[in-house]
Amino acid sequence: MALAGEYAAMCNQTLIMTKPGVTLKKTVSGAPVPSKRVCFSALKLKNYHKARLGVKAVTQIEVGSTTTTEGSRDLKGLEGTLELDLVSEGELRKKGFMGLRKTKLVCTIGPACCSLEELERLALEGMNVARLNMCHNTREWHLDVVRKIKKLNDKGYCVAVMIDTEGSQINVVDHGAPSSVKAEDGSIWHFTAEKFDGSRPLTVQASREGFSEGIEIGDEVVIDGGMATFEVVEKIGNDLRCKCTDSGLLLPRAKLSFWRAGKLVRGNYELPTLSAKDWSDIEFGVSEGVDFIAVSFVKDAEAIRHLKSHLSTKSAKLAKVLAKIECVESLQKLQEIVEASDGVMIARGDLGVEIPLEQIPSMQEKIIEVCRHLNKPAIVASQLLESMIQYPTPTRAEVADVSEAVRQYADAVMLSGESAVGSYGQKALSVLRTTSSRMESWGREESMQAHLNQSKLRLSLSDRIAEQICNCAAEMANNLGLDAIFVYTRHGEMASLLSGNRPNPPIFAFTSDRGARMALSLQWGVTPLLIDLSDDMEANTEKTISLIKTKGLIKEGDTVLVISDIIPSCATQTLFQSIQVKTVA
Ligand SMILES: Nc1ncnc2c1ncn2[C@@H]1O[C@H](COP(=O)(O)OP(=O)(O)OP(=O)(O)O)[C@@H](O)[C@H]1O
Ligand SMILES: CC(=O)C(=O)O
């Protein structure tokens, strides 16, 4: 803890004393400063609460039940109210602080789950982020889903919306036929970019002109990373005649990749990371105020920077930009891509088309580690519970895969076809939830986070100070066995630094910024709450503890660690970055 004192001396940071109604249990180091700055007396505080704080009671929610809410919250008149989402509140009541799930859950929305009732069931089951893959369905359909999610959020849920760009890739044109076609060993197929309606026997229509540029006789055409394989036996103009060498299924929109002597062959064509359709989808997302934009087939950081600078000119509420790691180039430039983006999705489906499957688990671990060091959330995606598209129970191997992602401390795990088109989407989400929770509690019992590398120091002093405060805070919270960490944050930075340490107690991030709240929906261990924050940290702490107590979610004797990154709006006020441990009186 010496470091905290060291930085306090360097930067005029200090540790602040406690307030009426709340007793100080411990200070970190240095002499406590009498809290002259604070203007509340106990009586004043009571009147203040009476005058300004209005909490509307919310019926208790049973997480995992399919019943809808009765106590939808009035979100108007935000001043003095605390917005804690219904699901976290229910989880907290039922299981206490340590029972709050840390790993976030993302669901791909598709025809199997797009009614308001189905979306609400997913929200109740713990969906933190709804993903819309812009490859599929119409603009009207996407708009309808986004509006329904907003409706749910108005009822007291906290579900962020992510759009996922189609990106530029070569795939089999989807003729709308629901079923797959089988390619038999030795059969001869014609691959063409010629446009035609419907399907032709033994013909594969590729989505892009010039798909065969640079491809030679003897090269391999691999479907969906190994679902079926062909050998090129003849080039006829831009078309290819291919012999099936490994029989398998051709699914609608299956991906094509070309291989020579065990290496991926890139065509001479330059595919832009964001196509004209992607830009149009992004405009749609911005106009609807989506929270995340996941960019497919990112090859370098420039594409991410370009999009972020475009977004900054578009709207006050900035959508967070996630880079999908799904091609060899994105692995080669991983560090710079993660630094430029607001998080990543480990898109194992397409990644498995480009690198040998046996390399995916170690790559996944490495990507999560890089993201954690750089405080960017990492989502593990694709085929986590693939068999549940058809069957009501997962395979043991699938449960082990989910557990492994949680053990690696991924921020989030994602459902794809399981929720979008599967028959058991809600059940699959419940498997994700229970498996994550079990693995998290086992990790705590085994003190696994003690083996995590600490974050690397950053360049700027202010970042390093915040980082050190968060590292110390997380260590203190674990060592002292505290119940919860309260962090007051304008943009979520401090909450994200805390999350990087993967502490045992849950992190409650209080922010007055709706965008920051939604962005934190993807961050490991963070429960984001919306509240009016003032420059007065003591008032903020009093207010939140009092509100949470009023709701019966915190009780006498509970201990919380309190930190803040609130920079006073008034230039004459001193910035206090503090760590306090409080016992609720
Ligand atoms: N909005 C939608 N409408 C119809 N079907 C959908 C929709 N979203 C997903 N699906 C179906 O669910 C399956 C899984 O969806 P997902 O988007 O995760 O896979 P994908 O299309 O392979 O993803 P990507 O193109 O990003 O690699 C898709 O193959 C598609 O059949
Ligand atoms: C999710 C996705 O895009 C993939 O796994 O390829």
Domain edges within the chain:
2-52+454-584, 102-169+272-446, 181-265
Residue with tokens 């640079």: 214
Mean pLDDT of the chain: 82
Pick the CATH number of 102-169+272-446 from 3.40.190.10, 3.40.50.300, 3.20.20.60, 3.10.129.10: 3.20.20.60
83 vs 290, 485, 547, 551, CA distance in Å? 19, 17, 10, 11
Q: Tell me the angle at which helices 116-125 and 86-95 cross, rounded to the nearest 10 degrees.
A: 40
Instruction: Report the predicted TM-score, pTM, of the whole model to 2 decimal places.
Output: 0.83
The residue type at 369: E
411 lines ligand 1 (CB under 6 A): no
Q: Which ligand is nearest to the CA of 169?
A: 1
Q: Which ligand is nearest to the CA of 168?
A: 1
Burial of 560 (0-12, 13-18, 19+ CB in 10 A): buried
Share of residues in the chain with pLDDT > 90 (%)? 56
* Residue 498 pLDDT greater than 80, yes or no: yes
Query: 76: which residues sit within 8 A by CB, 6+ positions away?
Result: none
What pLDDT was estimated at residue 13?
A: 30
Q: 114, 242, 152: which is closest to 189 by C-alpha?
A: 242
Q: Where are the alpha helices (DSSP H) in 203-359?
A: 276-287, 301-312, 328-332, 334-340, 348-354
Count CB atoms within 10 A of the CB of residue 190: 17
Q: 414, 272, 260: which is closest to 348 by C-alpha?
A: 414
30 lines ligand 1 (CB under 6 A): no
- pLDDT per residue over 259-287, tens digit each? 998 888 876 556 788 989 999 999 999 99
Which three-class secondary structure state does DSSP give residue 581? strand
The C-alpha atoms of residue 95 and residue 308 are separated, in whole angstroms, by 39
- Cα 320 to its chain centre, rounded Å, is 10
Q: Do 2-52+454-584 and 181-265 agree at the fold level? A: no
Q: Which long-range contacts (CB under 8 A, 24 or more apart) does 389-392 make?
A: 389/417, 389/418, 389/421, 389/422, 389/423, 389/424, 390/422, 390/423, 391/424, 392/423, 392/424, 392/427
In the reported structure, the alpha carbon of residue 288 is separated from the centroid of ligand 2 by a whole-number distance in angstroms of 23
ipTM of the complex in this document = 0.98
What pLDDT was estimated at residue 165?
A: 96
* Residue 251 pLDDT greater than 90, yes or no: no
The first and second tokens of residue 269, run together, are 């064509």
What residue owns the CA closest to ligand 1's atom 2?
110
The first and second tokens of residue 168, run together, are 């530029």
What pLDDT was estimated at residue 567?
A: 67
143-152, 255-264, 469-478, range with the lowest pLDDT: 255-264
**CATH superfamily, with its number, for domain 181-265:** PK beta-barrel domain-like (2.40.33.10)
The C-alpha atoms of residue 148 and residue 259 are separated, in whole angstroms, by 44
The first and second tokens of residue 304, run together, are 């991410």
Query: 582: which residues sit within 8 A by CB, 6+ positions away?
Result: 18, 22, 23, 24, 25, 541, 545, 559, 560, 561, 562
Which whole number is the average pLDDT over 367-374? Answer: 93
383 lines ligand 2 (CB under 6 A): no
**CATH superfamily, with its number, for domain 2-52+454-584:** Pyruvate kinase, C-terminal domain (3.40.1380.20)
The first and second tokens of residue 484, run together, are 């919860």
Pick from 1-5, 29-33, 253-257 the range whose average pLDDT is largest. Answer: 253-257
227 lines ligand 2 (CB under 6 A): no
- pLDDT per residue over 182-197, tens digit each? 899 999 999 998 888 8
418 vs 98, 346, 494, CA distance in Å? 29, 17, 34
User: Residue 293: enclosing H or E segment and its boundaries?
Assistant: strand 292-295
C-beta of residue 53 within 8 angstroms of C-beta of residue 111: no
* Residue 493 pLDDT greater than 60, yes or no: yes
Mutate to test the pocket of ligand 1, among 414, 416, 424 (most ligand atoms within 8 A of CB): 416
The C-alpha atoms of residue 102 and residue 411 are separated, in whole angstroms, by 8
Mutate to test the pocket of ligand 2, among 253, 326, 328 (most ligand atoms within 8 A of CB): 326
The first and second tokens of residue 187, run together, are 């059969």
The C-alpha atoms of residue 553 and residue 551 are separated, in whole angstroms, by 5
Share of residues in the chain with pLDDT > 70 (%)? 81
Q: Where are the alpha helices (DSSP H) in 31-189?
A: 42-52, 86-95, 116-125, 139-154
